[in-house]
Amino acid sequence: MSGEHASMRIIDGYARGGADIAADEVWALEAHLEKCRVCRDRLSAAVMAQAGAAAAQAPAVAVRRPDVSALVDTVWSGLEPELAATGPMPRRRRWSARLSKWLTPTMVPWLAMVASVTLLALLLDMVDTGSGSGFGSGSGEVSLVLLLAPVLPVFGVAASWSRGLDPAYELTASVPRAGLHLVLRRTASVLVVVVPVLSLGGWATGVTAAQWLLPCLAFTSATLALGGVVGVNRAALALVTVWAGVIVAPTLATSRTTFALQTDGLPVWGLICALGIGVVIARKGAYSVLGAHR
Partner 1 sequence: MTPAYSAADIAPTAYAWQIQATGLKVRAGRKRMAVDGLDLSLGTGVHGLLGPNGAGKTTLIRALATVLRPAEGTLELLGESVGGRGEHRALRRRIGYLPQEFGYYKRFTVREFIEYMAWLKEVPKADIPAAVQRAVERVGLADRADERMKALSGGMVRRVGIAQAIVNDPTILLLDEPTVGLDPAQRLRFRELLQELGTDTCVLVSTHLVEDVAAACTDVVLFAQGRLVFQGTPDELAAAGGPEHVGDSPLERGYSALLLRPEQERGTW
d(CA 240, CA 234): 10
Q: How far apart are alpha carbons 275 and 272 in whole angstroms?
A: 5
Interface with partner 1: number of residues (CB under 8 A):
43
Binder to partner 1 among 104, 143, 162, 211 (CB under 8 A)?
A: 104
Q: Does 93 bind partner 1 (CB under 8 A)?
A: yes
Among 149, 157, 166, 189, binds partner 1 (CB under 8 A): 166
Judged by CB under 8 A, the stretch of 74-82, 103-111, 120-128, 255-263 that binds partner 1 is: 103-111
DSSP conformational letter for 92 = P
* CB count in 10 Å sphere of residue 272: 18
Instruction: Please tell me whether residue 138 adopts helix, strand or coil conformation.
Output: coil
Residue 85: which region, alpha, beta or left (left: phi > 0; alpha: psi -120 to 50)? alpha
Shorter beta-carbon distance to partner 1: residue 120 or 282: 282
Selected from 18, 66, 179, 265, the binder of partner 1 by CB under 8 A is: 179
Give 191's Cβ-side CA count (13 Å radius): 17
Other CB atoms within 10 A of residue 191 CB: 18
User: Does 40 interact with partner 1 (rule: CB under 8 A)?
Assistant: no
Using the minimum distance from each CB to partner 1, give the nearer residue, 36 or 51. 36
Q: Which is nearer to partner 1, 125 or 166 (CB)?
A: 166
Q: Which stretch binds partner 1 (CB under 8 A): 51-59, 97-105, 150-158, 267-275?
A: 97-105
174 binds partner 1 (CB under 8 A): yes
Contact flag: residue 160 with partner 1 (CB under 8 A): no
C-alpha distance from residue 245 to each of 220, 241, 242, 250, 253 (Å): 18, 6, 5, 8, 11
For the chain, what is the largest distance between any 2 Cα atoms, rounded to a whole number of angstroms? 106
Contact flag: residue 189 with partner 1 (CB under 8 A):
no
User: By the criterion CB under 8 A, which residues form the site for partner 1?
Assistant: 4-6, 28-29, 31-32, 34-36, 86, 89-90, 92-93, 96-97, 100-101, 104-106, 166-179, 182, 284-285, 288-291
